[in-house]
Amino acid sequence: MALPPLATAQTTITVPTTPAAEAEDLPVQGEELAVLTDAPNVPPPITRKHPTKVKVELEVTELVKRMADGVDYTFWTFGGSVPGKFIRVRQNDEIDFVLKNHPSSKMPHNIDLHAVTGPGGGAKATFTAPGHQTNFSFKALNPGLYIYHCATAPVGMHIANGMYGLILVEPKEGMAPVDKEFYVVQGDFYTSGKYGEPGLQGFSMEKAIEENPDYVVFNGSVGSMTGEKALKASVGETVRLFVGNGGPNLVSSFHVIGEIFDRVYQEGGSLYQENVQTTLIPAGGSTICEFKLDTKGEFILVDHSIFRAFNKGALGILNADGDGDLLVFSGQKKDEIYLPEGGAIQTIPSDTATAPVASNKEERIKAGQLIYDQNCAACHLPTGSGVPAAFPPLAKSDYLNADVDRAISTVLHGLQGEITVNGAKYNSVMPILGLNDEKVANVLSYVYSQWDNSGVEVTPDQVAKVRASK
């Protein structure tokens, strides 16, 4: 192919002064005040066919809120919750942005919107002391879903305290209508105490630098989208999730258990990919996931770096009601006994290593705690509370406290068949864990010493007797 001739002094080259997209758009008309929403709600779709002047007013507040049951944290927020308010504008809109910092704040704050073309994304222009408000304007040149965040030093700390949210710039041709839209942002948190440690928790700079979070959550707290607060939709509806990752550190492997994303606008951009199971969301990035609900039930939003979901909080629920399509999903059809070797109770390979011998009750309880965390907590939970209809509680369990030999036998030989614990029925299988006498004694001494249980000590001799009696 022949190369075009080089420009000479005589050739006039016209450099376009406005992006093509803008050139083809209608002129800016009118003005309006942006509707801002808290997660999981999204402002209504934009129906305008022309760009306008949009006024956005966002107030920063620093407040103590719930991180998990019994755990509080001082969040720094854009608009009173984490993530900050969802902002929805149209491509080529001219945004007149006011950032207010509440007089009760202890820190100055600002905002860097990734939707802004200009130095710092607006950070310097919006540096706002407590009890001040600042103003700047920008034109939303590029459509997409963008993170915004505070960028005041120490930047990491402001983000780690919850200072992020999403701004959607709809393309000028609009977005395809869907039935339900939701707003979800993942964030990692670094607390002075461990996961679940009760009380008001401070921020741990050390853990943040190590990138070792205690909490990884959606929408600012453990359980923000479970139980009563689960997202709700119906079979046949199309759902669109606007998902962000505030970080500050972790990348999210975003997944919805039991769903396949029909479309994913990767990294919140303009192109989509189809039929995706898990999509990566960078820290300081976003994604748009769309899927039609073909059957009913509970669909679980997780970060598929899965310990974050089940041990650090990154779990939410979308409930689809309506008629299930049994061809799409049958549910369990049968549960029959399968007896390859004559026993229905599974055995976890037995433990041959000998445990160090505990010389008194205190040492026994201490050793037992470790055994509990490693062998029991996955089912009975670290707090001993169990899981309704699946794993009975060990905390204040009448079944446990009524009969020590029976508890020893349960840990030695496993347990199946219907039992009643604190008035609730369980009919499940506890596996054989293969612990030696010393370990069984230690773990049960620990369990009995916790959570309002009877406090009895279980000795290896006692365990040996129960083992021999079978």
- Among positions 383-402, residues that touch ligand HEC (CB under 6 A) are 391-394, 397, 399-400
Residue 93, judged by CB atoms within 10 A of its CB (0-12, 13-18, 19+), counts as: buried
Q: How many residues does the chain have?
A: 470
CB of 460 to ligand HEC, least distance (A): 15
Cα(371)–Cα(234) distance, rounded to whole angstroms? 44
* Interface map 356-385 toward ligand HEC (x if CB under 6 A): -------------------xx-xxx-----
Contact positions with Cu ion (CB under 5 A) in 295-334: none
The closest alpha carbon to 239, from 258, 221, 223, belongs to 258
Tokens found for residue 467: 């083992």
Under rule CB under 6 A, residue 78 binds ligand HEC: no
Nearest to ligand HEC of 256, 415 (CB atom): 415
Rule CB under 6 A: is residue 426 a binding residue for ligand HEC? yes
* Residue 161: contacted member of ligand HEC, Cu ion, none (CB under 5 to 8 Å, by partner type): none
Contacts of 39 (CB under 8 A, 6+ apart): 81, 83, 86, 182, 183, 184, 185, 219, 220, 224
Of 3-11, 194-202, 214-222, 411-419: span binding ligand HEC (CB under 6 A): 411-419
CB of 426 to ligand HEC, least distance (A): 4
Dihedral sign from CA coordinates of 255, 65, 35, 19: negative
Does position 158 interact with Cu ion (CB under 5 A)? The reply is: yes
Q: Is 111 in the site for Cu ion (CB under 5 A)?
A: no
d(Cα 455, Cα 459) in Å, to the nearest integer? 13
Q: Which of 113, 239, 447, 463 binds ligand HEC (CB under 6 A)?
A: 447
| Helix segments in 115-160, DSSP class H | 155-160
Alpha-carbon span 208 to 305, nearest angstrom = 18
Round to whole Å and give the CA distance between 8 and 28.
38
CA–CA distances in Å: residue 232 to residues 35, 185, 227, 306, 367? 22, 17, 11, 23, 45
Q: Does 219 bind ligand HEC (CB under 6 A)?
A: no
Output the smallest distance, CB 377 to ligand HEC, in A.
Answer: 8
Interface residue with ligand HEC, options 8, 17, 427, 469 (CB under 6 A):
427
Q: Which residues bind ligand HEC (CB under 6 A)?
A: 375-376, 378-380, 391-394, 397, 399-400, 407, 410-411, 415-417, 419, 421, 426-431, 433, 443, 447
Site for Cu ion, rule CB under 5 A: 109, 150, 152, 158, 163
